[in-house]
Each structure stands twice: as C-alpha cells, then as structure tokens.
C-alpha cells in the first residue's frame, strides 16, 4: 500500500517509510477529515492524513505519492483557506445576485438545490502549488506537489442564475464573494478586514461547466471545502473557485480587488512593459507520484512509474519521462479517457538498471495546443503558476 510522508521527514525515516513502514508524520485532524488516529485499533489506516502546511488558517496538502485513483476522496483533498472557516448553516444561508443586473435576486439553500443540477468533473490546483521547488526560498505557503485534487462536483450552472437576474448591457465581469473575512497583516497588507473575492469575465461565467456547487463526490460539501455553496471554475486555478459563496455581482468595469491585483497576480509584459495581471488559467503540468523523492527501488526489475497530468482550457495529449536529466524522453501511457478539465493519470513500466546507484527522473506534459512544460520557472509569474519540470531522485539497490 502507498503511504504518505511529511515534509519534515528525514532521509532515514523517508527510506523506512518507502520500504513499507510508517514514520512519525504530522497528521491533520479536523472535523470530517480522516486520519490515522481515528482508524480502528490493530488495523492499518487507509489514509494516514494530510500534510499540515499551516494550522490556522487551515492549509493542508495531499501527500501526492498516495495518488491511486482518478477521483480524489473528500478526506484526501487539499484544503486552502486565507481566513478562519466561516460557520454557516444551510437553513440560514442566502446568496444575492446583484450589481449590473435587471433584477436583484436572493436565493436560499433549498431554492438553489431545487434547481436542475449539473455534475462537472474538475481538477482544482492551488496557484502556489509547487512553490517549495523554487529557489531561493520564496514567501507564501511552501506547497510541494499535493495542493491539487480531482473531484466530481454537483451544483447549478452560474449562467442559469445570471439569466434569472438579467445581465444588463455593458457588464464585463462577475465578482464572486465568500463569507470568509479577515485582515492580511503581512505584506502586501490589506486595507483592514476584507472578504475573499475574485472575478471572472462574463464570457467565462456563462460557460456551462461553471457551477455553484453544493456537493463534492456525491456528498454535501464539508466546511473545509466551502459548505454550504462554493463556485467551481474548471480550467482556472483554485483561487477562482470561491468558497462559502454569499454574493455575486455583475460589474461594468474590471474588478481590481486585493485578491485580483496584489495577490494571485503576475507580471504580464505588453510592449516590454510589465503589468500586474490576475492569475487565471491552469498551466500544463505532469507530476510523478511514485517513485517518491529518495524512494529505494529494486534494481534490475520493472518499476511502475505513475502520476497525473493536467492543464487548463485544453487537454493533455502526451506525457513523457526522462531518466537522463532531460537528454532523451520516453512516452508514458495515458490511462482512461480524456475528460476536459480533469487530470489524466499515466504510467510507465521502467526497467531499472542493475547495480546500486541513484537515478534522476523527470516528467513533462504537452497539451492539445502544443504547449509543453518548461524546464525553468518564469520569474514574471512571481510565486504562482509553478509548472517547471521537477527532478525526482531515487536510489536503486
């Protein structure tokens, strides 16, 4: 069985873990989240726990070496919050849709769930996923591989509600605002307490796959994942899928809020003039789940290298592996059917050379637009959209 490792595990502990024993790890224990501590005594836990990146506010990472299925179980899905999780009750929850509309409307939870539902498979990735691979060390949560997950979401298309309200001519963006609120004390500081809010172009908001979700993998959302209602914006980084949604505003000019311009923004160059631009579409990426970093594998045998690949509005068409630091690349096998906005699992049966030695593995993905993962991180992206190729070093013996 695959087992997870914590970011702070030393090499000896890591090797013992990867040989089949579990070292001490930081296990996330919160309501609704499974962990080793609540497993039946005497039995091996099916899931040791999420990796703690920050306890308050809650930020937990999925141990990516545990990847085994296309759907990420709810209790293994990464958790990203900026402020304390708001305490909301479905019977009291209301959401308003207003701004540049013909008629402001307010919906209760029961009214939303009474509308025709739509299921959408979508991979969500934190815009800072992979930040730990940047050098020198950067500010922000040092996510490694696991601030990403794939789930089936159930909800109501945002377009249905916008049509009910009637978007006025001239509207260009839709602002999504969550109930979570707080003050950012680190630079760049916020102007007092602010809600988490992001916008998306009206054209994106009207796409059929953009939904207001109330279920995740067939179960009602947990508080950590946005209960009672959150947005799901397939193809965009996770910050766009606003949780604890309570307000939707149509506006007739671009939104320039804190989370749109100071954070979750990167430098975009037009005529060589850099301008801060909101992070939006997910960049093409493939990650190796196993072997994990410093894993000890048997020499002279076949080892199944496997992982996942994903992108934004396009589709994954190719995943390749290199065992010689990028000099040559071998095609991996894509598994299952391609589902737009969902990651694609892949595998490669590697004939591990004989002899005790270290090997460096790399993976890269290419999407249907012909875009392939880069070897280096673009500094104009600041600490976001990290999709550079990462080396996984293992030992064969």
Specify whether the CB–CB gap between 210 and 177 falls below 8 A: no
- What digits encode the pLDDT tens for the residues 295-354? 999 999 999 999 999 999 999 999 999 999 999 999 999 999 999 999 999 999 999 999
**Residue 101 reports pLDDT greater than 60:** yes
So what's the pLDDT on residue 144? 97
Average of per-residue pLDDT across 196-212: 98
Q: Compute the distance between CA of residue 263 and CA of residue 189 in angstroms, rounded to an integer.
A: 10
Q: Compute the distance between CA of residue 291 and CA of residue 304 in angstroms, rounded to an integer.
A: 8
Confidence of residue 271 (pLDDT cuts 50, 70, 90): confident
351: Cβ contacts below 8 Å, ≥ 6 apart: 301, 302
- What digits encode the pLDDT tens for the residues 144-197? 999 999 999 999 999 999 999 999 999 999 999 999 999 999 999 999 999 999
Q: Where are the beta strands (DSSP E) in 66-142?
A: 79-80, 94-99, 105-108, 118-125
**Two tokens, residue 358:** 């270290």
So what's the pLDDT on residue 45? 40
Q: Compute the distance between CA of residue 270 and CA of residue 274 in angstroms, rounded to an integer.
A: 7
So what's the pLDDT on residue 270? 86
So what's the pLDDT on residue 245? 98
Kindly report the number of other CB atoms within 10 A of residue 102's CB atom: 11
**Residue 226 reports pLDDT greater than 50:** yes
384 alpha carbon, distance to own chain's centre: 12
Residue 366 bridge partners (DSSP) = 318, 372
More confident residue, 365 or 28: 365
Share of the chain above pLDDT 70, in %: 88
Average of per-residue pLDDT across 63-85: 97
Burial class (CB in 10 A: 0-12, 13-18, 19+), 264: buried
So what's the pLDDT on residue 1? 34
Q: Compute the distance between CA of residue 380 and CA of residue 128 in angstroms, rounded to an integer.
A: 14
Average of per-residue pLDDT across 386-393: 98
**Two tokens, residue 177:** 């605002």
Average of per-residue pLDDT across 21-32: 35
Q: Where are the beta strands (DSSP E) in 184-272?
A: 193-201, 211-216, 219-220, 230-232, 245-251, 265-270
Q: Compute the distance between CA of residue 7 and CA of residue 261 in angstroms, rounded to an integer.
A: 31
- The count of residues in the chain is 397
216 alpha carbon, distance to own chain's centre: 14
- Give me the sheet containing 392-396, strands edge to edge: 296-297, 392-396, 357-367, 316-322, 330-331
**Residue 393 reports pLDDT greater than 80:** yes
> Is the peptide bond between 57 and the residue preceding it cis, with omega within 30 degrees of 0?
yes
So what's the pLDDT on residue 236? 98
């Amino acid at each position: 069985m695959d087992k997870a490792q914590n970011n702070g595990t030393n090499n000896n502990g890591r090797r013992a873990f990867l040989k089949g024993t579990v070292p001490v790890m930081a296990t996330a224990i919160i309501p609704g989240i499974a962990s080793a501590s609540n497993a039946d005594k005497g039995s091996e836990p099916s899931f040791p726990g999420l990796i703690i990146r920050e306890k308050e506010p809650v930020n937990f990472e999925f141990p990516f070496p545990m990847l085994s299925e296309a759907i990420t179980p709810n209790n293994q899905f990464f958790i990203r919050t900026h402020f304390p999780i708001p305490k909301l009750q479905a019977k009291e929850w209301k959401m308003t849709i207003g701004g540049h509309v013909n008629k402001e409307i307010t919906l209760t939870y029961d009214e939303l769930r009474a509308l025709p539902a739509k299921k959408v498979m979508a991979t969500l990735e934190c815009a800072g996923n992979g930040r730990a691979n940047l050098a020198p060390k950067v500010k922000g949560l040092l996510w490694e591989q696991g601030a990403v997950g794939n789930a089936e979401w159930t909800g109501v298309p945002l377009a249905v509600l916008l049509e009910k309200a009637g978007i006025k001519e001239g509207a260009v963006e839709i602002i999504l605002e969550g109930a979570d609120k707080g003050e950012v004390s680190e630079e760049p500081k916020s102007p007092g307490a602010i809600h988490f809010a992001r916008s998306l172009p009206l054209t994106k908001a009207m796409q059929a796959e953009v939904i207001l979700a109330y279920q995740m993998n067939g179960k009602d959302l947990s508080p950590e994942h946005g209960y009672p209602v959150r947005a799901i914006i397939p193809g965009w980084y996770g910050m766009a899928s606003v949780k604890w949604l309570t307000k939707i505003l149509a506006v007739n000019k671009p939104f320039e809020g804190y989370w749109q311009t100071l954070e979750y923004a990167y430098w975009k160059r037009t005529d060589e003039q850099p301008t801060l631009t909101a992070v939006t579409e997910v960049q093409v990426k493939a990650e190796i789940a196993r072997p994990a970093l410093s894993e000890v594998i048997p020499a002279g045998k076949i080892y199944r290298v496997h992982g996942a690949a994903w992108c934004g509005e396009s589709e994954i068409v190719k995943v390749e592996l290199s065992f010689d630091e990028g000099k040559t690349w071998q095609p991996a096998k894509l598994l299952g059917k391609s589902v737009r906005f969902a990651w694609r699992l892949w595998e490669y049966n590697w004939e591990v050379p004989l002899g005790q030695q270290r090997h460096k593995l790399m993976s890269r993905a290419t999407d249907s637009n012909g875009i392939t993962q880069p070897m280096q991180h673009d500094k104009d992206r600041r600490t976001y959209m990290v999709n550079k190729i990462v080396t996984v070093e293992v030992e064969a013996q």
